[in-house]
Structure 1
Amino acid sequence: MKIPVIDFEACEGCGTCEAICPDVFKVKEDGKAYVVNPKGCETCNCQEAVDSCPVECIKMEEQ
């Protein structure tokens, strides 16, 4: 099973991932996106979030 992983150093907190998969990603107070539910990709399109990230800081990795 693949889960999303975020490179926090590269993340700009734009919120694109959260807009696409709000059950999986959340931009927190520090301005960075976090994976809050890695198994939530079963109900959304995490690959679209990966492909839409403007700084390419999200990857899908084997768990």
Structure 2
Amino acid sequence: MKNQFKIPLVLFLIGMIISVVGALFKLMHWPGANIILIMGMLIEAGAILSLIITIVKKK
């Protein structure tokens, strides 16, 4: 794997972990679930956007 794809991949994995934790909070009806889910989704969206930018710059 190239070095340039590591950062978006790590960001995406962190976003997925945060989203899963947010889903757990939502299932358990604990407070703060919506905020955690939104943060996880935003991090995933940022990772995908950075991956697209990296691919476009490479070509």
Q: What TM-score do the two structures reach when normalised by structure 1?
A: 0.27
Structure showing the higher strand proportion among its residues: 1
User: Computing the radius of gyration over CA atoms, which structure comes out larger, 1 or 2?
Assistant: 2
Q: What TM-score do the two structures reach when normalised by structure 2?
A: 0.28
